Chain A
Amino acid sequence: MGLSNALARYAVNHAHVLLVEAPGHWLTRAAAEQQLLARGWLFASSPADADVLALCGTPGPEIAAIAARLWEQLPGPRARVQIDAPHLAAAAFESAATKLLDVTLQRDDSQGRSATPNGERHRDNESEGHDGGHDHGGHGTHVGKGEMDGGHAEHSAMDHGGSSGHGESGDHGGMGHGMDMGHADMGHGATSHGGMDMAPAGIPMTHGGEDRDGLELDVLHLRLGPVLPYWPTGLVLRCSLQGDLIVHAEVTLVDAQHARHHAGVRCAHHRAARRCDNAAGLLALSGWEDAAGRARRLRDWLLSDGDRGTTARDLDRLHRRIKRSWLLRWSLRGVGYLSAADVARLDLPGHLRGDTHDRLLSMIQRAADDIAGSADASSDASEHVPIVKIGDVVQGLDIATARLVVASLDLDPQPAASAVAHA
């Protein structure tokens, strides 16, 4: 018993946390990141890797449903916490640690779950598509498909192919069942229905489509977001892939109707912090953890109203370091290049001109301007990236570059819900 206790304590001291950010609560997420790193915990990149599911902020119905499904995918021992406000993060993680150490609690939890990827475990997987889920229970029913698919947004694999396969017949039914996003898949229904006939383990096969060269190639449907590391909160990109090339992408926002603007970017320091947060995400996506960590620390200093002089100096140091890295420049050069004409055509803010490397540097530069107070008090409204255009920007890119480009758009928290509403 002594050994397993010691093991458990060691394990809990190094837990991995999957953060789910409710739209509009990025400050809570930032505080949570800071607190979990201070505990020596790490970010989980996927539910399979996570011990703790932390929901940052007050979720709308869609995010709440997604969090519930992600929760089913944690292997266990597992703990779920909700962090309502930035200052509650430390206490929330403390309670998560206690839950992870509670053997009785964990045993009861694991006994309530089945070990095979059937029933609830089904949702652990890519192919939960054919699991009706708790709500509908119909294995392979069309309604079920739409349902699960929406919930499994961040992870989906073949099932998306599947769900769209049933789009025509099933998703209308799915709509009636409310809050998930299954119905949204209708968009793809027309291109790929009827896969039901050859369905190993209930997962319909993918369907072909003409690729760029006019050759037939399988089309795979993948949903990027809303829960994915370093992904803009609340954004969902419904992609049709050929290979890993995005041939078509559609943008939606989760909980768009419930968007509140209470966590907008209020003061210059917070604006600078947001720039650093975005830069950290982009650096992490480009595989440079070290620089990403530095940007994240700068963000935390800015949010805690640290010393202005030091922060500005460190920001400058980061700027120079990024500029010096020839490997980074080589890797980001030319990625997602937007000419002046593109920027005008897509109605994007002017600072997004150039390639991803330019945009990364401009992000840091704008943060520095904000700190120095030299930023022209640009109204947020005019700076907003119209997020419906993201689909156009990423079309034709592969997943890796698309992720870099989306991160480089330097989105503000809580993208204007109206932009989608009127689109």
Chain B
Amino acid sequence: MPDSTVTTVSAGWALAAAAILGLLVAFAAVLDGLFSARTAGAGPSGMTRPLGETARLVRQRRRTTVAADTLLWRIGSSGLLFMALMIVTVVPLGQWTLFDLDVGVVWFNAMDVLAWAFVWLTGWGANSTHSLIGGYRFLAHGLAYELPLMFALVAPAVAASSLNVGTVAAAQADLWFVVWMPVAFLVFCTGVVAIAVWGPFTPALGSDIAGGVTTELSGVDRLVFQGGRYALLAAGAAFAVPMFLGGGNGPLLPGWAWVLVKTSALLAVLVWLRRRLPAVRPDLFMEVGWVVLLPAVLVQDLLVAVVAVWRT
């Protein structure tokens, strides 16, 4: 069994981790800005859109609604960013990690489940029908993606015989897990896109219900919520690297650089996907989640388990 080779760095480095996450968020947002400007077909390049959007929302006044559940509303809208920050604490950057947790994989899972609460609370708190419907749509998606996502996380953990993220990454020195567990990888990516309320999973923020969960968000609340979505996408991509994409393994470049390169590449794909795919209605996805994804990922787990037993 391969041993974890990561060293835990002092807590002060958490700021650096947050900064790196911030850079990844900026990267994703600029990329998305470029893509959407191309769709619009006219106007500026979209390069400055993230900056402009931030400036706009910082300058905008915060508004509330009558009988809003302000506390829960604020908890919900800031929660996504919190989740993303908690997820990156267990992602090793090459040989360094902030938090060398024995059960890092479970930690990720615990964090991603919080999306249920946070997105729904954002929808609930505003005391508005549109945002409440948005919240329920997210829960419907959640019912379909959550179990497959959990079982997708099981596959790498079984193969590496460890729940420690560093150990899972080290177990892929010879062969990346994505190669022999592609189904688990795809389901994991679906889950990441879903917790970020991104791409096909945007009905919760749909324009048919005036922005859904975000209908009543303005100013800094909207900024933190939207930033949190990008951050979750980035954190999810970063977590996929040690789980499926070989962690810091790679020629020439040092481990930390490989982690960043792989994260950015996966993040770019996830951002691009949004342009290509229409939204998936929750009622339809429910069927897919339970009838297709869950059995597929269970078969994947079985195969991985058989291989793991056979190898020992």
Binding site for B on A (CB under 8 A): 7-8, 10-16, 34, 37-41, 45-46, 48-49, 51, 73, 75-77, 110, 116-117, 121-122, 124-128, 130-131, 154-158, 160, 200-203, 220, 222, 228-230, 241, 243-244, 283-291, 293-294, 297, 325, 327-328, 330-331, 398-401, 403-404
Question: What is the distance, in angstroms, from A321's C-beta to the closest C-beta of chain B?
Answer: 10
For B58, what are the chain A residues with a Cβ–Cβ distance below 8 Å?
Answer: 7, 11
Contact among A41, A241, A290, A399 for B275, CB-based, below 8 A: A290
For B203, what are the chain A residues with a Cβ–Cβ distance below 8 Å?
Answer: 287, 400
Contact among A14, A16, A201, A285 for B67, CB-based, below 8 A: A201
Interface of A is mostly: helix
Complex alpha-carbon distance, A124 and B216, angstroms: 9
A40 close to B63 (CB less than 8 A): no
Given contacts A49-B214, A287-B278, contact A7 B64 (CB under 8 A): no
13 pairs, A vs B, C-beta closer than 8 Å: A13-B48, A46-B216, A48-B222, A75-B62, A110-B61, A155-B128, A157-B132, A201-B66, A220-B129, A228-B208, A288-B277, A400-B206, A400-B282
Question: What is the distance, in angstroms, from B224's C-beta to the closest C-beta of chain A?
Answer: 14
B63 close to A399 (CB less than 8 A): no
Complex alpha-carbon distance, A277 and B145, angstroms: 34
Contact among A48, A77, A293 for B217, CB-based, below 8 A: A48
Contact among B39, B59, B210 for A46, CB-based, below 8 A: B210
Question: In chain A, what residue has the closest Cβ to B215?
Answer: A46
Complex alpha-carbon distance, A285 and B53, angstroms: 23
Complex alpha-carbon distance, A286 and B208, angstroms: 9
Question: Considering residues A14, A49, A155, which has the most beta carbons from chain B within 10 angstroms of its beta carbon?
Answer: A14
Question: What is the distance, in angstroms, from A357's C-beta to the closest C-beta of chain B?
Answer: 11
For B44, what are the chain A residues with a Cβ–Cβ distance below 8 Å?
Answer: 13, 40
For B280, what are the chain A residues with a Cβ–Cβ distance below 8 Å?
Answer: 287, 327, 331
Question: In chain A, what residue has the closest Cβ to B39?
Answer: A293
Question: In chain B, what residue has the closest Cβ to A406?
Answer: B208
B55 close to A14 (CB less than 8 A): yes
**Nearest 6 CB-CB pairings of A with B:** A287-B279, A14-B52, A125-B65, A201-B67, A293-B39, A127-B66
B61 close to A128 (CB less than 8 A): no
Question: In chain A, what residue has the closest Cβ to B57?
Answer: A11
In chain B, residues 203-224, which have Cβ atoms closer than 8 Å to a Cβ of chain A? 203, 206-211, 214-219, 222
Given contacts A110-B61, A230-B208, contact A39 B43 (CB under 8 A): yes
Complex alpha-carbon distance, A379 and B91, angstroms: 65
Question: In chain A, what residue has the closest Cβ to B219?
Answer: A75
Complex alpha-carbon distance, A290 and B219, angstroms: 27
Interface check B71, CB cutoff 8 A: no
For A330, what are the chain B residues with a Cβ–Cβ distance below 8 Å?
Answer: 284
Given contacts A75-B63, A286-B279, 4 further A-B contacts (CB under 8 A): A37-B42, A48-B217, A124-B63, A327-B277
Question: Considering residues B43, B62, B222, which has the most beta carbons from chain A within 10 angstroms of its beta carbon?
Answer: B43
Given contacts A11-B52, A127-B67, A128-B66, contact A38 B60 (CB under 8 A): no
Question: What is the distance, in angstroms, from A101's C-beta to the closest C-beta of chain B?
Answer: 11
B276-297 vs A: 1/0 string, CB under 8 Å? 1111111110000000000000
B contact residues, total (Cβ < 8 Å):
63
Contact among A46, A158, A202, A287 for B200, CB-based, below 8 A: A287
Question: What is the distance, in angstroms, from A15's C-beta to the closest C-beta of chain B?
Answer: 7
A156 close to B207 (CB less than 8 A): no
For B208, what are the chain A residues with a Cβ–Cβ distance below 8 Å?
Answer: 228-230, 285, 399-400, 403-404
Question: Considering residues B49, B136, B210, which has the most beta carbons from chain A within 10 angstroms of its beta carbon?
Answer: B210
Interface check B202, CB cutoff 8 A: yes
Interface check B141, CB cutoff 8 A: no
B52 close to A154 (CB less than 8 A): no
For A12, what are the chain B residues with a Cβ–Cβ distance below 8 Å?
Answer: 56
Given contacts A110-B61, A158-B129, contact A10 B48 (CB under 8 A): yes
B217-261 vs A: 1/0 string, CB under 8 Å? 111001000000000000000000000000000000000000000
For B262, what are the chain A residues with a Cβ–Cβ distance below 8 Å?
Answer: none
Contact among A126, A154, A289 for B36, CB-based, below 8 A: A289
Question: What is the distance, in angstroms, from B80's C-beta to the closest C-beta of chain A?
Answer: 18
Question: In chain B, what residue has the closest Cβ to A403?
Answer: B208
A51 close to B60 (CB less than 8 A): yes
B49 close to A125 (CB less than 8 A): no
B281 close to A400 (CB less than 8 A): yes
Question: What is the distance, in angstroms, from B64's C-beta to the closest C-beta of chain A?
Answer: 5
Contact among A40, A46, A243 for B130, CB-based, below 8 A: A46
Question: What is the distance, in angstroms, from B140's C-beta to the closest C-beta of chain A?
Answer: 10
Complex alpha-carbon distance, A240 and B48, angstroms: 43
Question: In chain B, what residue has the closest Cβ to A301?
Answer: B41
For B128, what are the chain A residues with a Cβ–Cβ distance below 8 Å?
Answer: 125-126, 155, 157
Question: Considering residues A128, A222, A283, A327, which has the most beta carbons from chain B within 10 angstroms of its beta carbon?
Answer: A327
B275 close to A289 (CB less than 8 A): yes
